[in-house]
Chain A
Amino acid sequence: MSAHEHTDPRPPVRWATHALLIVFTVGTLFPVLWVIKMALRPSQDFATGLNPLPTEFSLQNFADIVGDPLFGRQLLNSTVVSGVTTLVGVFLACTAAYAFSRFRFPGRRAGLAAFLVTQMFPGTMMMIPLYQLMDWLGLLDRMLGLVLVYSTTAIPFCVFMLKGYFDTIPKDLEESALMDGASQFTIFWRIILPLSRPAIAVTALFSFMTAWNEYILAATFMSDERAYTLPVRLQAFVGDYTTEWGHFAAGALIVSAPVMALFFALQKHLVGGLTSGGVKG
């Protein structure tokens, strides 16, 4: 053992860290590769064997799915529901979070606590009461119903996330704007929101994903095939007796593509450090 190794025990630690990271990376990537492999195989069986790399390259499964006469309609459903959920969620979360961050009003603490409490219940628990509610409101099989449900699910998290971020924006900036003659709304719109782009990007991504990936509630509320969202359609490939694994895998990839695209599009906004340089000390 060299003197260097003796005095510096770090390399073994580093190797261990790398080994652990490699294990996790493989563990994470393995199922993804498998799905890709299944999607590219023309057959509908479950892929077995250890090799996760594709051996056949057929786009038949993708063609089948995109060629489905209802696919366009269902894609539109998913897009509209997720898009509107994101818009509503981000808008309401921004305004609510700003109020929670900057104003002191009766019920502020209770409101924050209530948001936290709603996060403690699993979504499935709410299914039956929500179904009844939707039924009364005549919102079953309607996209508006899903938008409402998804927004209310996403908003509490988004409010917490954004409030935490708003709290870090120095008060001096707002006072400075106040001295410049800005109204409260101008401050919010022209100072706070532009500075919060990273947090808003995260919030938007979260809202979108909440809506885009959700299956259970959509499957419960939407009984008409024309009202399905993509995850519901996807689940239909898994039957009681047979499962079209190839279609299922290809569908899964198609569904995850927009989320990935969105992630990459927002990536540059997810980088922090936007407020640096404005105030000193």
Chain B
Amino acid sequence: MARVELDGVGKRYPNGFEAVQAFSIDIQPGEFIVLVGPSGCGKSTTLRMVAGLESITTGELRIDGRRVNEAAPKARDVAMVFQSYALYPHMTAFENMAFGLKLQKVPKADIEQRVRKVAEQLAISDLLDRKPKAMSGGQRQRIAIGRAIVRAPKVFLFDEPLSNLDAKLRLQMRVELSKLHRSLGATSLYVTHDQVEAMTLADRIVLLKGGVVQQIGAPLELYDRPDNTFVATFIGSPAMNLLTGERTAAGVTGAGFQVAFQGAGQVGQPVVLGVRPEHLRPVEAGAAVFSGTVEVVEPMGSESFVYCRHGEQLLVVRTKDAPPSPGALMHLAPEPGRLHLFDGATQGRLG
């Protein structure tokens, strides 16, 4: 277990592209940090800088208080699980897992014992004599994870380890990773673009966009108090409804709606109003804030997503009740106290 500090870490590639800018986070020993963001936002780059596979252009990286910017990967004592698994094709699963220990000159008997123990933990004991070629994707992924665990490194790095698995296997592996983390308690940095993985695995989520950190916080913190409209729409599915309008004394007024709102913002200020789909409730016509016709209904089983046309805007409503049929008129009002208000200019959170 180790503390990992990124202090204004930035990466500029030789072609001049700024992939990551001023990334700062203090990761506590045993913490599970998930990096999320759209494709190309610099998640892998950040991970590879921590791994030592990519040089750090600016800032400082410290592991257990020691600066490791210039340290070679093997001096950092971190292990990485690659999206492609990257198992050595000419070695058996056992040899794959033992490779790192062998290089560290760990006695043979110890290697044997450690590999067997981890294999048992991951339920891959009967695969140890097989080569990667003779394994399924899920089995290879387990071996790759086992190879990282067996070295008992200070820090675990995962780069989209589950993205090559089918949906069912991914869910299963996600649960197992979660259990594994609880039993190992190792500091982990996990990259994904799957927000469900992020929400379920993370102690804290880091949301990146274009190489810039948007928000760092516990999953529900990002969900309940997004720092800006990007975070608001990225976390949560279906995404938060955003409506542009203007701050008035009583609340917010926009195209075809008026809603009461207390607190932040100055009268006359352009704002963006955010409402999560589950915080929009069908109401009587008299109490309606938004009214519109239902365009699409997506039944999910336990709940339904209803897409309702309000002027220019398509509002998403999440409801557990029997959904209206398309074409029906729907009257909606947000739950009081569940509104998000963002600055219309900066897109930053007002309240």
A179 to B84: give the CA distance in the assembly, Å.
Answer: 15
Interface string of A245-277 (1 = CB under 8 A from B): 000000000000000000000000000001111
The answer to the question of B210 belonging to the interface, with a C-beta cut-off of 8 Å to chain A, is no
Q: Which of B52, B85, B86, B133 has the most CB of A within 10 A?
A: B86
B85 touches A178 (CB 8 A): no
Identify which of A172, A173, A180 contacts B103 (C-beta below 8 A): A180
Known: A195-B90, A278-B132. A180 touches B84 (CB 8 A): no
Q: Chain B residue with minimal CB distance to A171?
A: B86
Supply 9 A–B pairs (Cβ within 8 Å), ascending by A.
Answer: A172-B84, A172-B86, A175-B86, A176-B82, A178-B52, A179-B51, A179-B100, A195-B89, A281-B84
Known: A177-B99, A186-B103. A280 touches B84 (CB 8 A): yes
Residues of chain B contacted by A170 (CB below 8 angstroms): 84, 86
Q: Tell me which residues from 178 to 229 in chain A have a Cβ below 8 Å from any Cβ of chain B.
A: 178-182, 186, 191, 194-195
A194 to B100: give the CA distance in the assembly, Å.
Answer: 17
B88 touches A172 (CB 8 A): no
A175 touches B89 (CB 8 A): no
A275 touches B89 (CB 8 A): yes
The answer to the question of B79 belonging to the interface, with a C-beta cut-off of 8 Å to chain A, is yes
The answer to the question of B347 belonging to the interface, with a C-beta cut-off of 8 Å to chain A, is no
The answer to the question of B87 belonging to the interface, with a C-beta cut-off of 8 Å to chain A, is yes
A73: min CB distance to chain B, Å: 41
A172 to B99: give the CA distance in the assembly, Å.
Answer: 15
Q: Chain A residue with minimal CB distance to B89?
A: A278
The answer to the question of A279 belonging to the interface, with a C-beta cut-off of 8 Å to chain B, is yes
A177: min CB distance to chain B, Å: 7
Q: Which of B78, B79, B85, B147 has the most CB of A within 10 A?
A: B85
Residues of chain B contacted by A275 (CB below 8 angstroms): 89
B46: min CB distance to chain A, Å: 15
Binds A, one of B134-142, B302-310, B322-330: B134-142
B86 touches A173 (CB 8 A): yes
Taking beta carbons and an 8 Å cutoff, which residues of B are in contact with A? Answer: 51-53, 73-74, 78-80, 82-90, 99-100, 103-104, 131-135, 137, 140, 147, 151, 164
A175 to B151: give the CA distance in the assembly, Å.
Answer: 16
B103 touches A181 (CB 8 A): yes
Interface string of A94-110 (1 = CB under 8 A from B): 00000000000000000
Known: A172-B84, A172-B86. A280 touches B140 (CB 8 A): yes
- In the complex, besides A179-B51, A277-B89, 9 extra interface pairs with C-beta distance below 8 angstroms are A172-B82, A178-B74, A179-B53, A186-B103, A275-B89, A277-B87, A277-B134, A279-B87, A280-B85
**Number of A-B residue pairs at CB separation under 8 A:** 82
Identify which of A179, A186, A274, A281 contacts B83 (C-beta below 8 A): A281
Identify which of A180, A274, A279, A281 contacts B151 (C-beta below 8 A): A180
Q: Chain A residue with minimal CB distance to B76?
A: A179
A26 to B124: give the CA distance in the assembly, Å.
Answer: 55
B164 touches A280 (CB 8 A): yes
A171: min CB distance to chain B, Å: 9
A281 to B84: give the CA distance in the assembly, Å.
Answer: 6
A55 to B140: give the CA distance in the assembly, Å.
Answer: 61
A31 to B31: give the CA distance in the assembly, Å.
Answer: 75
A172: min CB distance to chain B, Å: 4
A276 to B132: give the CA distance in the assembly, Å.
Answer: 8
B82 touches A175 (CB 8 A): yes
A173 touches B88 (CB 8 A): yes
Q: Chain B residue with minimal CB distance to A173?
A: B86
B152: min CB distance to chain A, Å: 13
Q: Which of A175, A275, A278 has the most CB of B within 10 A?
A: A278
Residues of chain A contacted by B87 (CB below 8 angstroms): 176, 277-279
Q: Chain A residue with minimal CB distance to B83?
A: A281
B68: min CB distance to chain A, Å: 14
B99 touches A180 (CB 8 A): yes
B139: min CB distance to chain A, Å: 11
A278 to B92: give the CA distance in the assembly, Å.
Answer: 11
A194 to B171: give the CA distance in the assembly, Å.
Answer: 36
A175 to B86: give the CA distance in the assembly, Å.
Answer: 9
Known: A277-B132, A280-B140. A177 touches B82 (CB 8 A): no
A234 to B311: give the CA distance in the assembly, Å.
Answer: 95
Residues of chain B contacted by A194 (CB below 8 angstroms): 90
B90 touches A279 (CB 8 A): no
Residues of chain A contacted by B82 (CB below 8 angstroms): 172, 175-176, 279
